[in-house]
Structures are given as C-alpha cells and as structure tokens.
Amino acid sequence: MAGNTFGHLFRITTFGESHGGAVGAVVDGCPPGIEISEEEIQVELDRRKPGQSKITTPRKEADRIKMLSGVFQGKTTGTPILLIAYNEEFESDDYLNFKDLYRPSHADYTYEAKYGLRDWRGSGRASARETLARVAAGVIAKKHLKQTLGIEFVSYVEQVGSIRADIDFNKVTLSDVESNIIRCPDKEVAKKMIKLIESVRNEGDSIGGVIRGVIKNVPVGLGEPVFDKLSADLGKAMLSINAVKGFEIGSGFEGTKLKGSQHNDEFYIKNNKIRTRTNNAGGILGGISNGETIYFRVAFKPVSTIKKEQDTVSKDKQQEKLNAAGRHDPCVLPRAVPIVDAMGALVIIDHYLRHKAQNYNYER
C-alpha cells in the first residue's frame, strides 16, 4: 500500500501534492445510506484551509471539494467515494532559488534519499496540504458515528509555546472551540496565544504547541488485541499528521509520577452502567474502549519554514545559506484542530465496523 492508505474496513487512500493539480482521497468500505453533501464537507475544510485568519498563512485556497463517485441522491452507496479538491492558488517560483538545497527540518533530504528525486515545489507529497483529503474523509466518518452512536469529536488548542490553558475538557463544546481564531476555549488564554504567535511571526520565526484531542460518547468494546489496540491506532493516526512529534493518552507522562493507588480508575455503578470514578486511562483499558471519554494530547513542532537565515547544504554537498521564501503559517495549531478530529474519526469508525463484523449480536 506504500503508506498512502489508512484503515482496514473503512479505508482511505490519499493522493496529490501541494503544487500539483489536485489533492484528494478515495474512501472505500463506507457503509451505504449515509446522508452527506459537499456543503457539509466544506464546513470542515473551511476550518482547515489557509488564509482564514491573521495568524495563518496568507496563501488563499478555496479548497472546494467535489464528490465524483460513491454518492447518489445525497446518500453514500457503499461503493468507493472519490473526494477531490483542485489546487488553484500556488506560486511554485517561490521555491526555485532553493530547489537544490535541503531545507532544515523538512523532508527534502529524506525524500530524495528514499526515492532518488523529489518534488521541490512546496514540499510535494510531504506538504501538509495532503491533510485536506483526511479532513474531507473524516467528515463522512464523523457523520456516521454521530448518527449511529452519538459520538462527538471536540479537539482544541491547549498550548502554544509555554502558554497553556487549564480547561476541563469534559465541558468543552464546539462553539467554545470556534469562539476565537486560535481555537482555544479559554478566551483570555487565547488572547495571549494570539499575541505570542503574532510576535513570533513578526520576528520571521514560528512556534509549536499542543492540541488536546477529545472523543465523547464512545461505546464500550472498540479496539483489538494486541497490535491494533485503539490507543495504538490513535497514536499512529496522530503521529502520521505533518509536524506531530509527540502523542500521549490519558494521564500520559504525568501518570508516571503517581502511585498505582492514585492512578487506578476505580469502578462503580451509575444508572445501571459500569463506570470509572476517575479517567486516568483516557477511556481505554487494554487497548479497548471502556465507555469513558477518550482524551489525548498531540504535540506539534514549530513550522519548519521560517524567514530567518539558516545553514544548510546543497545536493552536491556544498555548505550554503538558506533564506526561505513562500507563504507559511507561523503556527500550525489552529488549522490542525480539524485534522486531529478527522484522524480520530477515521480510527473510531474503522474499529466500530470491525467490532460489528466480529460481534453478530452487537446491538449498536
């Protein structure tokens, strides 16, 4: 599959490059009868697209999605769905001056080492523009999961640089997330984050941060032993996103500071259902969902392209100075929120369908 396909029963294969003709995805294994429209998908793509605020890249792309197969009279047919968005506004000439240089912290060097050549226009296949296809496919997954199970995805920006919001993720709503351009539910902290990003951008630099992933109302029993644990697949999904350098679920690394008596989630009965009093496990036990909210953190590095001079080398192994051009985000966090939601949805729907296939008496 050459690393371009994700999922088992609900599978997506993405295609396209940053400065190519188009980017998109083929969705296979989608259940029939899901009501979906291009307009619904466009809402999520507008959350991811460039040029949406003063703290994102000035590149303007409509990211207008088209569904060319797999949908008839507004419903999925069960056959492969082709989602495609044509690239309309890109300036490849921005990259001419350093097409023979390896940009620090980019995939230029490794792609060329692997394939013997590379598309130097806007990072080619390694560009984060590929995530447009994931978000589009994720909308279909989210719609089905919401309708059948009531599952909700409410990720948000928790940290930019050293500025961190202390929020009860259980209470966060989508309207809270969308209340400001940084997508941090704490409006006062959001102002500080935005100010920091603007300061970093004015310096010609970039900055990273953390997105808190939150998945609510996941039923008990999703996940597979041993290698396809739900937590493991979520980790792979998040680490496959451009610029992601870390993933932790539940208490994560902070849990290492606790004793077992402090960390264990004790069981009790609520409304005739088995629940846990705490949720240090992050909604997953033994790789299988336990019915509690799934939560995790995803660490994003600073955007690699900056406007400061850097040392690098050329293809012919000469030491060079790099002055990067192009239009890039000073911080990728606000545009990455819908990507985290989408990848979470793709993992959950795949495990839901696998669970149904293995359990003939599964009621939901």
DSSP annotation string for 131-159: HHHHHHHHHHHHHHHHHHH--EE--EEEE
Beta bridge partners of 311: 321
pLDDT tens profile 117-158: 988 888 889 999 999 999 999 999 999 999 999 999 999 999
Buried-state track 273-311, b at ≥16 Cβ within 10 A, e below 16: eeebeebebbbbbebbbbbbbbbbbbbbbbbbbbeeeee
Q: What pLDDT is attached to residue 359? A: 79
pLDDT at position 217 over 70: yes
In a domain, 169, yes or no: yes
Segment 194-213 shows an average pLDDT of 96
In a domain, 184, yes or no: yes
pLDDT at position 90 over 80: no
Residue 323 belongs to what domain range? 5-358
Q: Residue 311 is inside which H or E element, if any?
A: strand 310-313
Q: What residues contact 298, with CB distance under 8 A and at least 6 apart?
A: 210, 211, 212, 213, 238, 241, 244, 246, 247, 336, 340
Q: What pLDDT is attached to residue 108? A: 94
In a domain, 363, yes or no: no
What is residue 44's DSSP assignment? H
Tokens of 202: 């004015």
Give the three-class secondary structure for 361: coil
How many domains would you assign to the chain?
1
Q: What pLDDT is attached to residue 124? A: 86
Distance CA 105, CA 243 (A): 10
Tokens of 91: 């300036």
Q: What is the CATH number of the domain that holds 26?
A: 3.60.150.10
Q: What pLDDT is attached to residue 364? A: 47
| Least confident stretch, 17-21, 170-174, 234-238, 299-303 | 17-21
In a domain, 364, yes or no: no
pLDDT tens profile 282-322: 999 999 999 999 999 999 999 999 999 999 999 999 999 99
Q: What pLDDT is attached to residue 323? A: 84
In a domain, 105, yes or no: yes
pLDDT at position 192 over 90: yes
On whether the CB atoms of residues 178 and 185 are closer than 8 A, the answer is no
Q: What pLDDT is attached to residue 295? A: 98
| Least confident stretch, 224-238, 250-264, 281-295, 310-324 | 310-324
